[in-house]
Amino acid sequence: MKKYFTERSASVGIRAIAVVTLFIYPLATAQVVRQARDAETKPYVSRGADGIQGCGIQIKVVDDRQTHADQYTLVLAVSPEDTYGVIQGGRLRLSISQWQSVLAGKISLPKPSGPAPESFWITREADAKPLVPIKLVRDKKMPAKLIALVEFDRTLSLIADIAKGARTQFDLRYPGDAPHIMRFSAPLNKEDKATVDACFDGYMKRLDELNVKLKAQRDQLPDSTPRDSKH
């Protein structure tokens, strides 16, 4: 099964508005690690006219402090048409009174605003090497979110680990933030796991279709093999 995820044409790239290089913060063992107060995971499924466009997992993590509460929303996904994984990340910061009103159902969660995060990494707690962005993708429709390209195979592995409930750490850092690490564990429930499995079944079907199409295109190329000449 792994070969289907790795044997893809390098000519198929992610569609991005603009790409910039990201400065990567190293994983620092001296940073403070905070346990999430609440965490949940949900399937991430993207469909298009041609079938499955992306499969992955959405993560919501809540960290409450004395003066405010932060809700982090992360998405890890892969697409059969891309050679990278994709990460989206953002944070909504509310005062304690606002957060209590949200929990009581008195107000709805507002949309995140302000600058996008400036750096990000995520990793299974048992791993020493974090998954870090390779490139940032700027999207004017989501200015408050970090969107980044990441290693495909490691993204796929991390999606599976998080879905199983592996203890995971991440640092989504905004300008002016002090270094801190969030820790969470939130496995998918049985129904959501079935949704993700079904998505990847469709993913494999779409990937097979793309491989057949690519092979047909290659077969139409002129033969560049030199022919033996008769003297």
- How do residues 53-79 score in pLDDT, each as one tens digit? 889 999 999 998 888 999 999 999 998
Integer Cα distance of 139 and 16 in angstroms:
8
**DSSP class per residue in 135-187:** EEEE-TT-TTSEEEEE-HHHHHHHHHHHHTT--EEEEEE-TTPPPEEEEE---
The residue written with tokens 């995820």 in the block is 5
Taking the CA atoms of the chain, what radius of gyration do you get in angstroms? Answer: 21
**Mind listing the pLDDT tens digit for each residue in 169-203?**
999 998 888 888 999 999 999 999 999 998 888 88
Helix (H, G, I), strand (E, B) or coil at 192: helix
Mean pLDDT, the chain, whole residue set = 80
3-state secondary structure of 107: coil
Non-local (6+) Cβ contacts of 146 within 8 A are: 87, 88, 89, 90, 116, 117, 118, 120, 133, 136, 172
> Is pLDDT of 17 > 60?
no
Q: Domain residue spans in the chain?
A: 2-216
The answer, yes or no, to whether residue 229 has pLDDT greater than 90, is: no
111 Cβ contact partners less than 8 Å away, ≥ 6 residues apart = 92, 144
Q: Mean pLDDT across the stretch 103-118?
A: 85
Residue 80: pLDDT band (50, 70, 90) is: confident
Integer Cα distance of 200 and 208 in angstroms: 12
Q: What is the CA angle 68-72-75, rounded to 5?
A: 175
Predicted TM-score (pTM) of the model is: 0.76
